[in-house]
Amino acid sequence: MSQGKSKDVISITVEFSGGLEMLFSNQRKHILSIPTKDESGEASNVAFLVRYLCEDVMQDNRRELFVLDDTVRPGILVLINDADWQLEGEDKYEIQGGDNIHFLSTLHGG
Amino acid sequence: MPPSLCALCKTSRAFILRPKDHQKLCKPCFISVFETEIHHTITSNNLFHRGERIAIGASGGKDSTVLASVLKTLNERYNYGVELILLSIDEGIKGYRDDSLETVKRNAKQYDMPLMIVGYDELYGWTMDQVVEQVGKKGNCTYCGVFRRQALDRGAAKLGVKHVVTGHNADDVAETVLMNLLRGDLPRLSRTTSIVTSTPSAVSSPDSPSHTNIKRSKPLKYAYEKEIVLYAYHKSLDYFSTECIYSPEAFRGSARALIKNLERVRPSAILDIVRSGEDMARLVPGGNEACSNGCSGQTALPEEEEGGCGSSNGRSAGGEMASMEHQLAQNDIATEVGLEIEITSSSLNGQQSGKKKDPDAVQLVNGKKGRRLKGPAQTPRKTARQTMGQCKRCGYLSSQEICKACVLLEGLNKNRPKNNIEVSSYAPEQEHGHMNNATNAMQKLQLGVD
């Protein structure tokens, strides 16, 4: 969570709720600066963000509660600026500065 | 990707993609459509009648919170004329239920509804914390599920309410349909797909307690879990989403995970499964009592029905796919050894037998006729119609002499550890003849040390 002011990072807000916050230090809202480009030099998309979250943000080692088969676990809704990610191209959506990406679980509690 | 416009108002930006029909909706249109569909479910099934007092089984979780919010909205909008009361069960789980009950208490204020909390400790003399201390974490969900069902009925009886609504959603029902299909349990399939169930007043004894005739319904039966969560999110409802500490991650390796995977591939799958379950239920001979007396989609549900975890809407506690596989393997072995008897298809031809209350129909299912000794295996099912009576101990409706809760309680009480062991109270043989050896030995050991 380095606050680099260089052009190589974009600042976004990532939220976890519906029980998912327990995997992320019980913190609902995270202000993050993520690289503008992914590992292969492409613009960072949601798929990259999910990998980034697993590697650099998640403290909990139960990664499979968040990711399954290399994508967000079925039952976890992803909202990009409040819109269903299915309306935005799912994990191919290219992240813009200031975006709010919300991971909202339907799996916990009842 | 340019933002899409709402399919209904055609002016605002779409935020929601509906799983059932891929319709793109803006927030206000989604809220309105979601509520209207619940209203339609309620009116087309005649769930409520004017003047009725209705208890909402409220856990503080997403489903019951949305149910309470929507019912309040609809009751005011369409003037149902019903009185809504929140009914919560306190299982006695520290660090879980005590927190979620705080949510329910806030909901009671937010929705201006009276709230009643009934505790396992007052009803059964045991909190779930104590049960787990006794039986361990494995299998404790069975206790919780059995106790819960009665607890809701008893709570309703205390309130003088004859109707309890629960937050079971389409995902819950689809999961139950799948599990009952895999188990081959057709009678239960029939009962659990029903939107209204009731513990029938089969016993007409004058001292029959009122908690034996309480109607249950599921107004959210056709609502996707996804939409329930989105509704709560877009309306900023206050709900609790922590997992029960005794069955965390219940969704792993469960039928639930299967449902969610199906939804990812084809979102309409969930409602398709619910509808298929209903269609199949209609073909179960003798399974749907209601069709023989008025066909209102109402069916009897004995208390043994919900064995699983209560707090997650009867959702199973995970790992059941593995145990199912084990059972199927066992069935295969049985086939090879020739232990199984097939029930011919003619016996399951329920079209005609299901309509009339035909005692033969039931017999057919029991395999009395049409037995064959060879052929593909099918587990013979005991589908004998349950005759409802009352538990001899507590008076609760039961198909057995002693209801399941009392059986579980008996086991618990037998093994209840004696807390304050003193020499003066040492008369265990007389008082507790059934005390098990381990406890006995422990007592003696303690006495020895003292």
State whether B264 and B345 are in the same domain. no
Is there a contact between A19 and B4 if contact means CB atoms under 8 Å apart? Answer: no
Residue B219's nearest CA partner among B169, B263, B176 is B169
Residue B223 neighbours by CB under 8 Å, 6+ apart = B34, B37, B38, B169, B170
B212 occurs within a structural domain: yes
Instruction: Give which of A16, A67, A106 to mutate to test B binding, by max B Cβ within 10 Å.
Output: A106
Same structural domain, B201 and B248: yes
Q: Report DSSP state, residue A54.
A: I
User: Among residues 49-78 of chain A, which lie with CB inside 8 Å of chain B?
Assistant: 62, 64-65, 73-75, 77
With CB atoms and an 8 Å threshold, state whether B15 touches A77. no
Select the residue of B15, B167, B261 nearest A74 (Cβ to Cβ). Answer: B261
The answer to whether the Cβ–Cβ distance between B13 and A83 falls below 8 Å is yes
> Which of A77, A87, A105 is closest, CB to CB, to B4?
A87
B158 assigned to some structural domain: yes
Residue B406 counted as domain residue: no
Q: For position B81, which CATH number holds?
A: 3.40.50.620
How far the first Cα of chain B sits from its last, in Å, is: 78
Tokens found for residue A10: 């974009």
Lowest mean pLDDT across B74-83, B288-297, B398-407, B409-418? B288-297
Residue B250: per-residue pLDDT: 65
Residue B16 has pLDDT above 90, yes or no: yes
Which residue is closest to A89 within chain B, CA to CA? B1
Is the residue at B33 inside a domain?
yes
Contacts of B240 in chain A (CB under 8 A): 109
The structure tokens 């787990």 sit at: B132
In this prediction, residue B3 has a pLDDT band, given cuts at 50, 70 and 90, of confident
Domain hosting B307: range is 16-318
Say if residues B133 and B70 touch (Cβ distance below 8 Å).
Answer: no
Q: Let me know if residue B166 belongs to a domain.
A: yes
Shortest distance between the Cα of B282 and any Cα of chain A, in A, equals: 29
Among candidates A87, A107, A109 on the partner chain, residue whose Cβ is nearest the Cβ of B240: A109
Q: Output A104 or B343, whichever has higher pLDDT.
A: A104
The answer to whether B315 contacts chain A (CB < 8 Å) is yes
Sign of the CA dihedral with B95 first, then B101, B107, and B109 last: negative
With a CB cutoff of 8 Å and minimum separation 6, the contacts of B298 are: B194, B196, B197, B198, B215, B290
Answer whether residue B274 is part of any domain: yes
* Separation CA A88–CA A77 (nearest Å): 13
Nearest-by-CA chain B residue for A16: B241
- Both tokens of B231, joined, read 């509704």
- Above 80 in pLDDT, residue B67? yes
Average pLDDT over residues B40-68: 96
For residues B113 and B184, membership in a common domain is answered with yes
CB contact under 8 A, A107 and B256: yes
Cα dihedral B26, A104, B229, A98 in deg (nearest 10): -30
Whether B227 has a pLDDT exceeding 50, the answer reads yes
Task: Give the integer Cα–Cα distance in Å for B320 and B334.
Answer: 21
C-alpha B217/C-alpha B429 separation (Å) is 48
Do B193 and B173 contact (CB within 8 A), yes or no? Answer: yes
**Tokens standing for B122?**
């007052």
| Domain boundary residue, one of B252, B287, B318 | B318
Q: What does the pLDDT read at residue B124?
A: 93
- Segment B195-221 shows an average pLDDT of 68
For residues B431-436, average pLDDT: 43
* Chain B touched by A44 (CB under 8 Å): no
CA distance A37 to B292: 66
* Contacts of residue B45, Cβ cutoff 8 Å, sequence gap at least 6: B195, B196, B217, B296, B297
Hey, is the C-beta of A98 within 8 angstroms of any chain B C-beta? no
Is the same domain home to B201 and B300? Answer: yes
Rounded CA separation B401/B246 (Å)? 30
Q: How far is CA B322 from CA B198, B252, B317, B444, in A?
A: 32, 11, 12, 43
* CA within 13 Å, CB half, A15: 16
- Total number of domains constituting chain B: 3
- Is the pLDDT at B108 greater than 60? The verdict is yes
Could you give the CA distance from residue B196 to residue B163 in angstroms, rounded to a whole number?
10
CB contact set of B440 (below 8 Å; sequence gap of 6+): B428
B181 in A contact zone (CB under 8 Å) = no
Question: Is B433 within 8 Å of chain A by CB?
Answer: no
Final residue in a domain of this structure, among B350, B372, B394: B372
How many CA atoms are closer than 13 Å to the CA of B100, on its beta-carbon side? 30
Mean pLDDT of chain B: 77
B251 touches chain A (CB under 8 A): yes
Domains defined for chain A, CATH in brackets: 9-105 (3.10.20.30)
Interface of B with A in 6-25 (CB under 8 A): 13-17, 24
Report the range of poorest mean pLDDT among B82-91, B129-138, B437-446. B437-446
Pair B360, B233 in one domain: no
CA distance B155 to chain A (A): 19
Show residues of chain A in contact with B169, CB under 8 Å. none
Asked if B233 reaches chain A (Cβ–Cβ under 8 Å), the answer is yes
Residue B415 lies in a domain: no
Q: What is the predicted pLDDT for the residue at B320?
A: 66
Residues B217 and B244 in one domain: yes
B303 and B328, same domain (yes or no): no
Residue B428, burial from CB neighbour count under 10 angstroms (0-12, 13-18, 19+): middle
CA distance readout (Å), B229 to A75, B226, B238, B317: 10, 5, 11, 21
> What is the dihedral sign for C-alpha A86, A87, A93, A95?
negative
Q: State whether B199 and B62 are in the same domain.
A: yes
A43 to chain B, any CB pair closer than 8 A? The answer is no
Are residues B328 and B282 both part of a single domain?
Answer: no
Of the given ranges (B215-224, B236-245, B355-364, B400-409), which has the lowest mean pLDDT? B355-364
What pLDDT, on the 0 to 100 scale, is given for residue B387?
A: 66
Check residue A47 and give its pLDDT: 95
Q: What's the CA gap between B275 and B177, in Å, rounded?
A: 10
If asked whether residues B80 and B144 sit together in one domain, one would say yes
pLDDT in tens, A44-103: 999 999 999 999 999 888 888 899 888 999 999 999 999 999 999 999 999 999 999 999
- Within a domain: residue B244? yes
Contact A19 B241 (CB under 8 A): yes
3-state secondary structure chain B: CCCCECCCCCCCECCEECCCCCCEECHHHHHHHHHHHHHHHHHHCCCCCCCCEEEEECCCCHHHHHHHHHHHHHHHHCCCCCEEEEEEEECCCCCCHHHHHHHHHHHHHHCCCCEEEEEHHHHHCCCHHHHHHHHCCCCHHHHHHHHHHHHHHHHHHHHCCCEEECCCCHHHHHHHHHHHHHHCCHHHHHHHCCCEEECCCCCCCCCCCHHHCCEEECCCCCCCHHHHHHHHHHCCCCCCCCCCCCCCCCCCCCHHHHHHHHHHHCCCHHHHHHHHHHHHHHHCCCCCHHHHHCCCCEEECCCCCCCCCCCCCCCCCCCHHHHHHHHHHHHHHHHHHCCCCEECHHHHCHHHHCCCCCHHHHHHHCCCCCEECCCCCCCCCCCCCCCCEECCCCCCEECCCCCHHHHHHHHHHHCCCCCCCCHHHCCHHHHCCCCCHHHHHHHHHHHHHC
Q: Do B251 and A106 count as a contact with CB atoms less than 8 A apart?
A: no
CA distance B206 to chain A (A): 38
Sort residue B358 into left (φ over 0), alpha (ψ -120 to 50) or beta.
Answer: beta
Alpha carbon B343 to its chain centroid, in Å, reads 30
CA-to-CA distance for B105 and B449, rounded, in angstroms? 48
The encoded tokens of residue B79 equal: 């003037």
Whether B290 and B427 share a structural domain = no
Q: CB neighbours of A53 closer than 8 A, spacing ≥ 6?
A: A14, A24, A66
Q: Do B236 and B311 belong to one domain?
A: yes
ipTM: 0.92
Provide the β-strand partners of residue A32. A12
